């Protein structure tokens, strides 16, 4: 029996995840821990598998965007510290405490409400929280010293919440112009000093995402929050080209040819008949489409790899299928085709696809969805798989 029936799959190289953790371990100060960011199902790679691999290779804790993502990790048996980076509705604090998941806070009212809820609960009622400081991202977090002190004072009054961390997030650390990042870093330092001058001992301090960790490893404080580069991708072309940290991409997207046809007369291809194959052209149909997260914007633009050669996508990407022109006319049903990743000497990077789509590599990876099975590799061999089309049922 096959693990899944689809002839389209994602391969995630867990050795690449481990290598990327090691690369950062060498790049940042020894006293700085690594928090592996596995939100959005591990940026499309699979949060549980990536989280375990990261922890096994030197990461100290995990971070996600929302409490539900954290609970998935706990239910999978992960016991390492987990921080929710985003907003959590206060009526979920009992669940966070029950699963021992740290939350992000930035409002004194929230702290007081959470304290009252947890004081009244029958179950576990201790909860770690990290205070988020907005130093220039304009998203979540306290902005002034006064707001910060209100939150910290409320935490000190609480007998159920523990002030476990303080952090900020950079908006422009991936850019060649470091003015904005330096301004944010300076502001963060001012607010930390203000707390210390009021006699507060600082808990765990963290501010670096991948970009800041690459560009300013000396800003590591107690931990970096390593997201995109955990997966072997650079936050920007600028940091990629600088070459300060060598990363190994973990994800490949592969499929097999489902149908091959040769045009004996002009043959229109796909919806809208936007491509007309000339007589003699060979067209192969691949079983992947925009419903899998393979963008329709790649219609008549993207490429794939067949037998180590680039083959252009022709016609519109359909919901479940896409066509490529095989210039060597040597395609057969069942041949492997690589959409993202390496085949022979050729490679299609997520950066290249992102550029074609007018977006960033983060989105290209995150778009791949539950319909595509993931297989996990160690030393080039499959060690596990996950196909979420069946929900919790493995098909």
Ligand X SMILES: Cc1ncc(COP(=O)(O)O)c(C=O)c1O
The full DSSP string for 71-90 is HHHHHTT--S-EEE-S---G
Stretch near ligand X under the rule CB under 6 A, chosen from 74-82, 177-185, 191-199, 208-216: 208-216
Active site residue 39: yes
**Nearest-approach distance from CB 177 to ligand X, in angstroms:** 17
Classify 389 as helix, strand or coil.
helix
114: contact with ligand X by CB under 6 A: no
Contact 81, 61 (CB under 8 A): yes
Stretch near ligand X under the rule CB under 6 A, chosen from 10-18, 191-199, 221-229, 248-256: 221-229
236/255 with CB nearer ligand X = 236
Among 49, 185, 225, 374, binds ligand X (CB under 6 A): 225
Token couple for 161: 């919440």
77 Rama sector, left if φ>0, alpha if ψ -120 to 50, beta otherwise: left
37/313 with CB nearer ligand X = 37
- Using CA atoms, how far apart are residues 100 and 75, in angstroms rounded to an integer? 12
- Using CA atoms, how far apart are residues 362 and 146, in angstroms rounded to an integer? 35
57/229 with CB nearer ligand X = 229
- Cα 56 to Cα 128, 220, 232: the distances in Å are 23, 21, 17
- Using CA atoms, how far apart are residues 285 and 287, in angstroms rounded to an integer? 7
209: contact with ligand X by CB under 6 A: yes
240: contact with ligand X by CB under 6 A: no
Classify 386 as helix, strand or coil.
strand
Among 235, 249, 315, 341, binds ligand X (CB under 6 A): 235
The residues, any chain, with a CB within 8 Å of residue 77's CB and separated by 6 or more, are none
52: contact with ligand X by CB under 6 A: no
Beta bridge partners of 376: 12, 384
Choosing from 75, 271, 329, 394, the catalytic residue is 271
Among 37, 133, 204, 386, binds ligand X (CB under 6 A): 37
Beta bridge partners of 127: 161
Among 169, 240, 254, 256, binds ligand X (CB under 6 A): 169
Residue tagged 């499959």 (tokens): 382
270: contact with ligand X by CB under 6 A: no
255: contact with ligand X by CB under 6 A: no
Number of residues binding to ligand X, judged by CB under 6 A: 12
End-to-end, the C-alpha distance of the chain in Å comes to 10
45/169 with CB nearer ligand X = 169
20: contact with ligand X by CB under 6 A: no
What are φ and ψ of residue 272, in 5° steps? 80, -5
160/207 with CB nearer ligand X = 207
Stretch near ligand X under the rule CB under 6 A, chosen from 119-127, 153-161, 220-228, 312-320: 220-228
**Of 219, 215, 220, residue with least CA distance to 242:** 215
227: contact with ligand X by CB under 6 A: yes
228: contact with ligand X by CB under 6 A: yes
**Nearest-approach distance from CB 255 to ligand X, in angstroms:** 27
**Nearest-approach distance from CB 351 to ligand X, in angstroms:** 14
- Using CA atoms, how far apart are residues 147 and 163, in angstroms rounded to an integer? 15
Among 210, 255, 282, 295, binds ligand X (CB under 6 A): 210
Which residues sit at the interface with ligand X, rule CB under 6 A? 37, 85, 169, 209-211, 225-229, 235
Catalytically active residues, by annotation = 39, 271
């Amino acid at each position: 029996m096959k693990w899944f029936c689809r002839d389209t799959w994602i391969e995630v190289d867990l050795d690449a995840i481990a290598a990327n953790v090691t690369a950062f371990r060498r790049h940042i100060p020894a006293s700085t821990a690594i928090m592996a960011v596995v939100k959005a199902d591990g940026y499309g790679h699979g949060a549980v598998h990536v989280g375990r691999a990261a922890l096994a290779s030197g990461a100290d804790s995990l971070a996600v965007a929302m409490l539900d993502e954290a609970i998935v990790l706990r239910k999978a048996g992960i016991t390492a510290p987990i921080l929710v980076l985003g907003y959590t509705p206060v009526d979920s604090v009992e669940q966070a405490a029950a699963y021992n998941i740290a939350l992000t806070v930035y409002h004194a009212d929230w702290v007081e409400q959470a304290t009252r809820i947890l004081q009244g609960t029958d179950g576990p009622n201790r909860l770690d929280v990290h205070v988020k400081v907005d130093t220039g991202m304009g998203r979540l977090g306290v902005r002034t010293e006064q707001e910060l002190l209100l939150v910290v004072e409320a935490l000190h009054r609480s007998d159920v919440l523990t002030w476990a961390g303080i952090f900020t997030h950079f908006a422009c650390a991936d850019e060649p112009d470091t003015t904005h990042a330096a301004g944010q870093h300076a502001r963060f330092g001012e607010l930390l000093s203000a707390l210390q001058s009021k006699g507060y001992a600082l808990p765990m301090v963290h501010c670096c995402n991948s970009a800041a960790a690459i560009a300013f490893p000396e800003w590591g404080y107690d931990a970096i929050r390593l997201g995109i580069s955990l997966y072997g991708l650079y936050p920007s072309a600028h940091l990629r080209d600088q070459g300060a940290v060598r990363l190994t991409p973990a994800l490949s997207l592969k499929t097999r040819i489902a149908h091959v046809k040769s045009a004996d007369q002009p043959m229109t291809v796909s919806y809208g008949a936007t491509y007309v194959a000339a007589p003699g052209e060979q067209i192969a149909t691949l079983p992947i489409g925009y419903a899998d997260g393979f963008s329709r914007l790649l219609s008549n633009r993207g490429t794939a790899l067949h037998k180590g050669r680039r083959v252009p996508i022709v016609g519109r990407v359909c919901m479940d299928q896409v066509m490529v022109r095989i210039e060597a006319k040597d395609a057969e049903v069942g041949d492997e085709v690589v959409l993202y990743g390496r085949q022979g000497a050729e490679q299609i990077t997520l950066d290249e696809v992102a550029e074609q789509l007018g977006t960033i590599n983060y989105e290209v990876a995150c778009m791949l969805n539950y319909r595509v099975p993931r297989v996990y590799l160690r030393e080039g061999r499959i060690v596990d798989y996950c196909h979420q089309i069946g929900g919790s049922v493995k098909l």
